[in-house]
C-alpha cells in the first residue's frame, strides 16, 4: 500500500457560514462569507492560494456547472479552479482535491470550497434529479428519505429488532443532535425536542417521520490547506493535520447482487478500514475523540455506528439509547448538531464536518468544546444505500 497522506498536509484556516434558510444571500455571497473567515484564520493573502476546488451538487439549482462561480465570487487571480461533484460527499471531494494537490507537492497552499443554495427551489425537501436517460426509464421515482428509510426495514429484519424499538433508538439520534445544536450559533435548527416529538412527527417515508430527517439548508464552508512547513512559517504552533482521507464507491453490488441485504453500507466499512490504516488508528473506539457522520436520516446514523466499527453488529440501537454517542458519551457524535440540525447544504456538508473537528482540535468550539480531543473523524454517504459514495477523513494534531 502507498504511504498515504498522513501528516503531509496541514489545515491552516477554515470558515463556515451560518446554515439555514439564507433567503437574502446568494451562493456567491455564502462563498465570500465562508472564505473571509478562513482566509483571516489562515493569516495569508488571498493570492497565496495556488489552486482551488469547488464542490457543488445541485448545479442546476444554484450556480450552474464549472468552477467559474468560485473564481468569480472571490475574484481569484486566474489560478486553476476545478469543480467536483460526488453526491453528498462533494464537500469532502473538494477537500481531497486540495489536500492531494498539496501532498503531491504541486502547490504549497490550496483552497477547498463547498457551497449549496437549496432554498431557491420553491418547495421543502431536496430538488428532483435525474438518473440519466436509461435509468429514469426503470428506477422508481424515489426520494432521499425513501431510499434511506429502507435501511430500517432491512436492519429490523436482519437483527430481529422490533420496528418500535428501532424507532425509539432512531428518535434518540435526533433528540441528541437537537440538544447539541443548542450550543451552536451557526446551526440551522436550534430547538430541543423529545423522543415523543420524533415518534409523533408526520410520516415522510416509513418508518421515517419529519424529525428523523435532516434540515435542507443553504450554506458554504471552506478550508485552506498547506504544507506543514508553511503552517510553521506562518507562526502557527497548534496545527491540525490530515491523518487520512479515503473514499469507497459502490460498483453495483448493493443494487444488483444478493450478497447485500440492505441493512448496512458496504462502502462505509471499506472506507473506514482504509482510513484507520492510513491514520494509524488501531482501536477506533478508544482513539476517536469525536465523530461527525452522515446523519441525513436518523437510521443512517444508527447503521453507520456499526459500519464504522464503533458498535457491535446489532448493538447500535442499545448503544445509542445508552448515550454512548451523546455529547457526554464515550464517542460524541454530531457535537455540532450534525446534518440533522447544523443543516445539510450538500456541497458544503463535508467541509462543515471538517470545520467542527478543526475547531474542536484547536479548542475553539465554545460552549460545546470537548475535553482534549485527539482524533476526529468525518463521514459522508453520498447517494442512497443502493449506490453510494462513502468518504472518511480523519484529522488530528500535527
Nearer to another protein, 130 or 237 (CB): 130
> Is 87 in contact with 350 (CB distance < 8 Å)?
no
**Exactly one of 178, 188, 344, 379 is catalytic; which is it?**
344
88 is known as an active-site residue = yes
Q: By CB under 8 A, tell whether 296 contacts another protein.
A: no
Residues 210-269 touching another protein, rule: CB under 8 A, are 251-253, 255-263
Length of the chain equals 398
Q: By CB under 8 A, tell whether 139 contacts another protein.
A: yes
Minimum Å gap between C-beta 37 and another protein is: 34
Measured CA to CA, the distance from residue 273 to residue 246 in angstroms comes to 9
**Exactly one of 88, 214, 333, 341 is catalytic; which is it?**
88
Which window, 20-28, 108-116, 200-208, 317-325, contacts another protein (CB under 8 A)?
Answer: 200-208
Measured CA to CA, the distance from residue 30 to residue 35 in angstroms comes to 8
> Is 368 in contact with 183 (CB distance < 8 Å)?
yes
Minimum Å gap between C-beta 382 and another protein is: 17
Place of cell 473571509: 36
| Residue in 59, 188, 62, 181 with CA at minimum distance from that of residue 121 | 62
Measured CA to CA, the distance from residue 144 to residue 125 in angstroms comes to 9
**What track of x and - describes contact with another protein for positions 147 through 166 (by CB under 8 A)?**
x-xxx-xx-xx---------
How many Cβ atoms are within 10 Å of 134's Cβ, its own excluded?
A: 8
Measured CA to CA, the distance from residue 22 to residue 28 in angstroms comes to 12
Residue from 74, 99, 189, 205 binding another protein (CB under 8 A): 205
DSSP state of 59: G
Nearer to another protein, 75 or 138 (CB): 138
Active site residues: 88, 344
Name the site residues for another protein (rule: CB under 8 A). Answer: 121-123, 125, 128, 133-134, 136-143, 145-147, 149-151, 153-154, 156-157, 203-206, 208, 251-253, 255-263, 386
Amino acid at each position: 500500500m502507498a504511504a498515504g497522506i498522513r501528516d503531509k498536509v496541514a489545515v491552516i484556516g477554515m470558515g463556515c457560514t451560518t446554515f439555514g434558510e439564507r433567503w437574502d444571500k446568494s451562493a456567491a455571497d455564502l462563498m465570500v462569507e465562508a472564505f473571509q473567515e478562513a482566509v483571516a484564520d489562515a493569516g495569508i493573502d488571498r493570492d497565496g492560494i495556488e489552486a482551488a476546488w469547488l464542490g457543488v451538487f445541485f448545479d442546476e439549482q444554484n450556480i450552474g456547472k464549472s468552477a467559474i462561480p468560485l473564481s468569480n465570487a472571490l475574484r481569484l487571480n486566474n489560478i486553476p479552479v476545478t469543480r467536483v461533484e460526488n453526491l453528498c460527499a462533494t464537500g469532502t471531494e473538494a477537500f481531497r482535491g486540495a489536500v492531494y494537490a498539496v501532498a503531491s507537492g504541486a502547490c504549497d497552499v490550496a483552497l477547498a470550497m463547498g457551497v449549496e443554495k437549496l432554498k431557491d427551489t420553491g418547495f421543502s425537501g431536496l430538488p428532483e434529479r435525474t438518473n440519466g436517460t436509461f435509468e429514469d426509464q426503470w428506477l422508481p421515482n424515489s426520494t432521499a428519505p425513501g431510499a434511506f428509510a429502507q435501511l430500517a426495514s432491512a436492519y429490523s429484519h436482519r437483527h430481529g429488532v422490533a420496528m418500535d424499538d428501532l424507532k425509539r433508538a432512531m428518535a434518540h439520534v435526533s433528540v441528541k443532535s437537537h440538544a447539541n445544536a443548542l450550543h451552536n450559533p451557526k446551526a440551522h435548527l436550534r430547538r430541543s425536542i423529545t423522543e415523543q416529538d420524533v415518534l409523533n412527527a408526520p410520516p415522510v417515508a416509513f418508518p421515517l417521520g419529519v424529525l428523523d430527517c435532516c434540515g435542507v439548508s443553504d450554506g458554504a464552508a471552506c478550508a485552506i490547506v498547506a504544507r506543514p512547513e508553511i503552517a510553521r512559517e506562518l507562526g502557527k504552533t497548534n496545527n491540525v493535520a490530515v491523518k487520512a482521507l479515503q473514499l469507497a464507491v459502490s460498483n453495483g453490488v448493493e443494487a444488483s447482487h444478493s450478497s447485500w441485504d440492505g441493512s448496512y453500507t458496504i462502502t462505509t466499512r471499506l472506507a473506514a478500514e482504509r482510513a484507520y490504516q492510513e491514520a494509524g488508528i488501531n482501536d477506533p473506539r478508544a482513539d476517536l475523540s469525536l465523530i461527525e457522520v452522515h446523519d441525513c436520516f436518523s437510521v443512517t446514523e444508527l447503521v453507520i455506528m456499526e459500519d464504522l466499527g464503533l458498535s457491535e453488529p446489532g448493538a447500535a440501537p442499545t448503544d445509542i439509547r445508552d448515550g454512548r454517542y451523546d455529547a457526554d458519551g464515550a464517542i460524541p457524535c454530531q457535537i455540532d448538531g450534525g446534518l440533522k440540525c447544523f443543516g445539510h447544504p450538500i456541497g458544503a456538508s463535508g467541509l462543515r464536518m471538517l470545520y467542527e473537528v478543526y475547531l474542536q482540535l484547536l479548542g475553539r468550539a465554545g460552549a460545546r468544546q470537548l475535553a482534549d480531543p485527539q482524533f476526529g473523524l468525518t463521514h459522508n454517504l453520498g447517494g442512497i444505500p443502493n449506490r453510494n459514495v462513502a468518504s472518511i477523513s480523519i484529522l488530528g494534531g500535527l
